[in-house]
Amino acid sequence: MAEKINLTLNIWRKESPEAEGYFEEFKISVTPDASILEMLDELNNDLEAQNKRPIAFESDCREGICGTCGIVVNGHPHGPIPKTATCQLHMRNFKDGETLYLEPFRAKAYKNIKDLVVDRSPLDKIIQAGGFISVNTGNPPDANSIPIPKETALQALDAAECIGCGACVAACKNASAMLFVGAKVSQFALLPQGQPERYERVQAMVNTMDEMGFGSCTNTYACEAECPKGISITNIARMNRDYLKAKISSHSMQY
Amino acid sequence: MVKLDSKVPAGHISEKWEKHKFEMKLVNPANKRKYDIIVVGTGLAGASAAATLAELGYKVKAFSFHDTPRRAHSIAAQGGINAAKNYQNDGDSVYRLFYDTVKGGDFRSREANVYRLAEVSNNIIDQAVAQGVPFAREYGGYLTNRSFGGAQVSRTFYARGETGQQLLLGAYSALSRQIGAGNVQMYTRREMLDLVVVDGHARGIIVRNLLTGEIERYAGQAVILATGGYSNVYFLSTNAMNSNVTAAWRAHKRGALFANPAFTQIHPTAIPAHGGAQSKLVLMSESLRNDGRIWVPKKPGDTRKPNEIPEEERDYYLEVKYPAFGNLVPRDVASRNAKYVCDEGRGVGPTGRAVYLDFADAIKRMGRKAVEEKYGNLFEMYENITGDNPYEVPMMIYPAPHYTMGGLWVDYHLMSTIPGLFVLGEANFSDHGANRLGASALMQGLADGYFVIPYTLGNYLGTERPQKVSTDRPEFAEAEENVKNTIKKLLSIKGKKTVDAIHKELGHVMIDKVGISRTKEGLEEAIKKIRELREEFWNNINIPEDDKTLNQTLERAGRIADFLELGELMARDALNRNESCGGHFREEYQTEEGEALRNDEEYSYVAAWEFKKVGEWELNKEPLTFEYVKPSMRSYK
């Protein structure tokens, strides 16, 4: 088994939504084969055994697909390794003796609930405003009745791979959710099924994003760099084009 | 004893559902809005049900312990979803999908349910495409398929290795639309901790608000559970960290029978645990077995590096034992044999619980580039997790629990033994028998939610015409008291052990004695050990902090308490079933060649367990008859 490495952890602690936050230092020895969340599991086990308050953090699938986890490691949402969710970040990427700072995703729209846990429900509100195709369950036409070019379907899938973790917001200095919204807008804008509501959708989603307190985009590309799924910034451009088109064409004017 | 009536309609199997849809009662559109329907769990089955019922006009309250419905573990399904479209013109049909599923389930499922599943499978694909799910396509723009184990046709629809994610996001978008329209009230970060039964009917739930600790009451005229499976009883499984049996188990303790708990599926190709610090296992696609060769050293305790072990000292045990199928034997056979060689001390890796999956020959035969094209992303994932490069050193794999076929007993209407309580998806027992085929879990979750419950729920409401009940009723007060007392008790133990420590110990017992391979002695021992662990849990765990805030240890403790009861029932069920079938292998019951030996004479039934008190159950049997697919023996020699 690989030899353990020793690390100093400075972890953000906050007892309740109202409490003041602070950093707490921990010294830990961990196998490089563990993921960073497994390291926290172990640390929590030790804390619980001493009847101390464990570190609250969220995770679920631990395979990088559910989007539940999200810790800012040394300033990077999901840590320093590109295209890697926090749960897939393994300790072999760190050196013996290193110091790590672990913080929650910070953004105006995300309330810090406890320690490393934040409330990302504003992202759901944006989807509820228009992130869907309005089709009831029933008898849609046969799935093969509309051929869709392979390339188009793959582009839509590239956009649809967003895991909704919200790291893009935490990475952005304006706490903008444009990459998240752009990805969903693009998925449907690319597909024939998404055309009927295309312009209403983009307006509804963008307006809700603004209402939720997310900032605007100033093209720093930080979101793309930190996205664990590598969602492309071109999705933002596509969204902006559609939004502009919607605004200048009177028939789809909603607001 | 409970009288189990499967309510399977009469008639030829191909006409049952169509005919029954006409026979079932309807609720007229104006009346639908008078009904409050509770949906617990918002994965594939729950989200599709909640969205569809809301579209129909019902008032839906949906509950999830996640921060958003998009997190459910359905999202992690990689491979695909089956449907009998026959787009490939390769001889598929509803009947063939039905046939393969009954056979794959080793003749322990209910024929009529399986047929209906196959029948609605095609609608699921149409629905998903209409929602904008970007399935894989051919250059001509039409949908493409891949093939999967247990079938000789290509009927699996997929979206890269992220089919579960795309289908869940489709259902989530439909649900979000209804939330936005005000037809679904979504309650996130709420965990169901009890079921409220009024005059024998399910009429509400008690939940804990995970952020504030408040205990809340919700009433409805029907309750739908879509709360997933229980593989986490093994501690290490491929299930998500928070997947649990609690909602189903608390309903079980209120009178819903639990069926075939011993039927669990153990997937042969997961990445092995790296040591004691492991919290969860990750699955590798089974397709790797197409080109990788599985082996262990011939000599026990051989600690040489794999590349230093000469060819003649390697045991390619699957190829030797099963010359016809070799490394491509079914999941259960591959899993079982990996366990055997590790039990002999021939396992590899730091823990000795792993076998090699070697691509050296494939690289020689196909060239590195071809291997990269076929498996590149999987190799990358493997290297990311283990730090080993599988192009240079053999991969290591080991079986991991990942799906549970057992679950709450339901009739043809997906209604449990408590009227008004419906159970969908992995949480019920109905469609996969003793073994589930690949790409059938997504199909079942969505079939139940989109296309079955909208009809059968209407029939229940139209027949019973349940009135609204107030949450002030004594039944709600009693259930709330029950929940509060359990929490109080958990917090007052203040012992020495952590909740995880007990869960790990339970997991060891379960995987060792109630896992891949089972014996009478082992199961009896497991029951004894689980009882001891339960005793220790209730006397010696420690939960820091109180119940007035987000307390993840308290959440876990409640779930482990239930696993400690379920684990015993799984062992009892396995002990009762004196045969081997599907994922349930009893060493005493095997053919001379080491194959599973079914006993159709005595065990062709669903074992539905009725809760009496903790550690005490009564067995009820639903006999299974096979009118259309005649039971046969499997052989892979």
Given this model, what pLDDT does residue B576 score? 98
Decide if B141 is inside a domain.
Answer: no
Domain C-terminal end among B399, B417, B451: B399
- Alpha-carbon torsion (B502, B506, B508, B509), positive or negative: positive
Given this model, what pLDDT does residue A251 score? 54
Given this model, what pLDDT does residue B58 score? 98
Pair B391, B510 in one domain:
no
Q: In this complex, do B274 and A135 lie within 8 Å of one another by their Cβ atoms?
A: no
Pair B287, B393 in one domain:
yes
Q: Is B28 exposed, middle or buried (0-12, 13-18, 19+ CB in 10 A)?
A: exposed
Mean pLDDT (whole number) for A88-101 = 97
Main-chain phi, psi angles of B252, to 5 degrees? -60, -45
Given this model, what pLDDT does residue B151 score? 80
Q: What is the enclosing helix (H) or strand (E) of B61?
A: strand B59-63
CA B364/CA B346 separation, integer angstroms? 26
Write the residue in A1, A119, A135 that is nearest to B130 by C-beta: A135
- A52 reaches B (C-beta below 8 A): yes
Q: In this complex, do B160 and A157 lie within 8 Å of one another by their Cβ atoms?
A: yes
**Tally of domains in chain B:** 2
Q: In this complex, do A157 and B500 lie within 8 Å of one another by their Cβ atoms?
A: no
Q: In this complex, do B277 and A38 lie within 8 Å of one another by their Cβ atoms?
A: yes
Examine the pLDDT at B43 and tell me if it is beyond 50. yes
Which of A3, A66, A185 to mutate against chain B (most B CBs within 10 Å)?
A66
Q: In this complex, do B176 and A132 lie within 8 Å of one another by their Cβ atoms?
A: yes
Q: In this complex, do B275 and A33 lie within 8 Å of one another by their Cβ atoms?
A: yes
Q: Which residues of B touch A16 (CB under 8 A)?
A: 549
The answer to whether the CB of B273 falls within 8 A of the CB of B281 is yes
Q: How far is CA A241 from CA A128, A180, A186, in A?
A: 22, 16, 11
Catalytic residue among B70, B203, B331, B353: B331
Task: Read off the pLDDT of residues B563-575 as tens digits, 9 standing for 90 and up.
Answer: 999 999 999 999 9
Examine the pLDDT at A198 and tell me if it is beyond 60. yes
Task: Read off the pLDDT of residues A35-55 as tens digits, 9 standing for 90 and up.
Answer: 999 999 999 999 999 999 999
Q: In this complex, do A60 and B123 lie within 8 Å of one another by their Cβ atoms?
A: no
Q: In this complex, do B279 and A37 lie within 8 Å of one another by their Cβ atoms?
A: yes
To 10 degrees, what angle do helices A150-160 and A178-190 make?
Answer: 160
Mean pLDDT (whole number) for B543-564 = 97
Q: Which residue has the higher pLDDT, B595 or B535?
A: B535
Mean pLDDT (whole number) for B574-595 = 94
SS3 state of residue B193: strand
Query: Residue B531 belongs to a domain with what CATH number?
Result: 1.20.58.100
Q: Which residues of A touch B76 (CB under 8 A)?
A: 61, 63, 65-66
Can you tell me which residue has the tokens 């929490």? B487
Nearest residue in B to A125, CA atom: B180
Q: In this complex, do B498 and A49 lie within 8 Å of one another by their Cβ atoms?
A: yes
∠ CA B423-B429-B432, nearest 5°, is 130
Write the residue in B132, B386, B494 that is nearest to A133 by C-beta: B132
Q: Which residues of B touch A45 (CB under 8 A)?
A: 498, 500-501
- A70 reaches B (C-beta below 8 A): no
The answer to whether the CB of B257 falls within 8 A of the CB of B608 is yes
| First-to-last C-alpha distance (Å) of chain B | 43
Query: Residue B359 belongs to a domain with what CATH number?
Result: 3.90.700.10
- A83 reaches B (C-beta below 8 A): no
Which of B65, B552, B555 to mutate against chain A (most A CBs within 10 Å)?
B552
Q: In this complex, do A62 and B142 lie within 8 Å of one another by their Cβ atoms?
A: no
The lowest-confidence range among B121-135, B142-156, B199-213, B443-457 is: B142-156
Range of the domain at B582: 484-601
Sheet of B190-198: strands edge to edge? B190-198, B201-209, B215-219
Nearest by Cα to B447 from B195, B21, B83: B83
Which of B137, B191, B278 to mutate against chain A (most A CBs within 10 Å)?
B137
CATH topology classification for A5-114? Ubiquitin-like (UB roll) (3.10.20)
Pair B389, B488 in one domain:
no
Own/partner pairs, B612-617, CB within 8 angstroms, 24+ separation:
B614/B534, B614/B565, B615/B531, B615/B565, B615/B568, B617/B569, B617/B572
Decide if B509 is inside a domain.
Answer: yes
Mean pLDDT (whole number) for B8-30 = 97
Sheet of B81-82: strands edge to edge? B81-82, B154-157, B146-147
Given this model, what pLDDT does residue B148 score? 78
Decide if B578 is inside a domain.
Answer: yes
* Radius of gyration, alpha carbons of chain A: 21
CA B334/CA B328 separation, integer angstroms? 8
The lowest-confidence range among A174-188, B379-393, B608-622 is: B379-393
Q: In this complex, do A113 and B211 lie within 8 Å of one another by their Cβ atoms?
A: yes
Given this model, what pLDDT does residue B636 score? 67
Residue type, B505: E
Examine the pLDDT at A111 and tell me if it is beyond 80. yes
Nearest residue in A to B284, CA atom: A63
Q: In this complex, do B386 and A188 lie within 8 Å of one another by their Cβ atoms?
A: no
Decide if B582 is inside a domain.
Answer: yes
Nearest by Cα to A177 from A101, A241, A129, A107: A107
Which of A16, A59, A60, A197 to mutate against chain B (most B CBs within 10 Å)?
A60
Domain C-terminal end among B354, B379, B399: B399
Decide if B228 is inside a domain.
Answer: no
Token pair belonging to B321: 């034992």
Decide if B170 is inside a domain.
Answer: no
- A36 reaches B (C-beta below 8 A): no
Can you tell me which residue has the tokens 């950093």? A23
Count of pairs with CB atoms under 8 A, one residue in A, one in B: 223
Decide if B573 is inside a domain.
Answer: yes
SS3 state of residue B396: strand
Can you tell me which residue has the tokens 């409490």? A19
Examine the pLDDT at A253 and tell me if it is beyond 70. no
Examine the pLDDT at A255 and tell me if it is beyond 50. no
Q: In this complex, do B169 and A160 lie within 8 Å of one another by their Cβ atoms?
A: yes
> Would you call B331 a catalytic residue per the annotation?
yes
Write the residue in B66, B131, B141 that is nearest to A148 by C-beta: B141
To 10 degrees, what angle do helices A121-130 and A178-190 make?
Answer: 30
In chain A, residues under CATH classification 3.10.20.30 are 5-114
Q: Which residues of B touch A111 (CB under 8 A)?
A: none
Token pair belonging to A178: 């444009």
Contacting A residues, span 198-227, partner chain B, CB-CB under 8 Å: none
Mean pLDDT (whole number) for A100-112 = 97
CATH architecture, domain A121-252: Orthogonal Bundle (1.10)
Mean pLDDT (whole number) for A69-86 = 97
Q: What is the mean pLDDT of chain B?
A: 95
Examine the pLDDT at B632 and tell me if it is beyond 90. no
Contacting A residues, span 127-186, partner chain B, CB-CB under 8 Å: 127-137, 139-144, 146-150, 153-154, 156-157, 160-161, 163-164
Q: Which residues of A touch B552 (CB under 8 A)?
A: 54, 56
Given this model, what pLDDT does residue B168 score? 98
Q: Which residues of B touch A37 (CB under 8 A)?
A: 279
Given this model, what pLDDT does residue A250 score? 58
